[in-house]
Amino acid sequence: MAISFSLEGKSALVTGANTGIGQAIAVALAEAGADVALAGRSEPAETIALVEATGRKCVNIRADLSSIEPVGRVIDEAAAGLGKVDILVNNAGIIRRDDLLQFSEDDWDAVIDTNLKTLFFLSQAAARGMVERGTGKIVNIASLLTFQGGIRVPSYAAAKSGVGGVTKAMANELAPRGVQVNAIAPGYIATNNTAALQGDETRNRQILERIPTGRWGDPKDIAGAAVFLASPASDYVTGHVLAVDGGWLAR
Ligand code: NDP
């Protein structure tokens, strides 16, 4: 049988897809043949236009994923709009920065809830249908801080290292039921999220010197990995955290 990266006939749900990495993933999944549902709190007008330009269906679901309250509704609306959810990409995420000695409970809870708690319960809700059909793919967006501690971002490091852990936990239990769960750890990717770093001449130079590939990542670099992990080509890959970092972790 030929190796297939095609997502023809599949339906995908992507969180936080109005911009950056989530937008690139939603468009790439559509280009590979999937219909796409977007879940987020902002109006993803540009992403909807880009997905529809591929000829695929696009469903927009407004939801604030800082709590698990909308999780059931998001899966129900995606399934109602597209028929089913075969692929879930947990991309929505936030970061809060502060000195460790004064890091607040609010900055702790907000990051853990959005980046980790919602990711698990949305996956759980999506996995029910996937298990019923005996097939599905969950792709979690992790970080280099899944492997490293970082500075001034303790809740982000805790959440993203938790994403690595929960990816493996879900993969173990869902593999026998036909569902693969993997994560992508993006390196330094040029998005709104990293605009301040890119604009800081000294930090930008330090970062570029440390990346073997010698450039910032593009959201499309992450989207390519997401298409692989959503496609039949990765059917024997599960519980893996794939660094897409220009070689950062290799150095
Ligand atoms: P963006 O800030 O461009 O995208 C983050 C997305 O998450 C936005 O669509 C945002 O929507 C959404 N989001 C945030 N909070 C919520 C919420 N409460 N409910 C619904 N949606 C929400 O950043 P990136 O594209 O860079 O980041 C995407 C993912 O990649 C994140 O998980 C991030 O941690 C991860 N990542 C990014 C790296 C990088 O270098 N850029 C490196 C490593 C990991 P809204 O516009 O409404 O806030």
Task: Say how many C-beta atoms besides its own lie within 10 A of residue 173's C-beta.
Answer: 12
- The residue contributing the CA closest to ligand 1 atom 13 is 92
Q: CA-CA distance, 136 to 185, in Å (whole number)?
A: 20
Residues 120-128: what's their mean pLDDT?
A: 98
DSSP summary character for residue 66: T
The catalytic residue among 90, 154, 156, 183 is 156
Residue 50: closest CA among 32, 67, 80, 26: 26
Task: Name the pLDDT band for 220 (thresholds 50, 70, 90).
Answer: very high
Per-residue pLDDT at 24: 98
**Of 120, 117, 144, 119, residue with least CA distance to 242:** 144
Q: Tell me if 23 CB under 6 Å of ligand 1.
A: no
Q: Between vectors from CA 218 to CA 212 and to CA 222, what angle results, nearest 5°?
A: 90
- In this prediction, residues 103-112 reach a mean pLDDT of 98
- Does pLDDT of 106 surpass 90? yes
Q: Per-residue pLDDT for 113 more than 80?
A: yes
Domains and CATH numbers, the chain: 11-190+219-243 (3.40.50.720)
Query: According to the model, what pLDDT value does residue 118 have?
Result: 99
Classify 183 as helix, strand or coil.
strand
pTM over 0.95: yes
List pLDDT tens digits, range 19-58.
999 999 999 999 999 999 999 999 999 999 999 999 999 9
Residue 229 pLDDT more than 80?
A: yes
Pocket test for ligand 1, best of 38, 41, 64, 192 (most atoms within 8 A of CB): 41
CA torsion through residues 53, 234, 117, 142, sign: negative
Residue 188 bears catalytic tag: no
Report d(CA 118, CA 244) in Å as an integer.
Answer: 23
- Is residue 116 within 8 A of residue 166, CB to CB? The reply is yes
Nearest residue (by CA) to ligand 1, atom 17, is 65
Split at pLDDT 50, 70, 90, the class of 117 is very high
Which ligand 1 atom is the nearest neighbour of the CA of 42?
47
Whether 84 contacts 11, CB under 8 Å: yes
**Per-residue model confidence (pLDDT) at position 1:** 73
The average confidence (pLDDT) of the chain is 98
Percent of the chain with pLDDT over 90: 99
pLDDT at 15: 98
Predicted-assembly ipTM surpassing the 0.95 threshold: yes
Please list, in sequence order, all residues whose beta carbon lies within 8 angstroms of the beta carbon of residue 7, skipping any fewer than 6 positions away.
29, 32, 33, 34, 87, 227, 230, 231
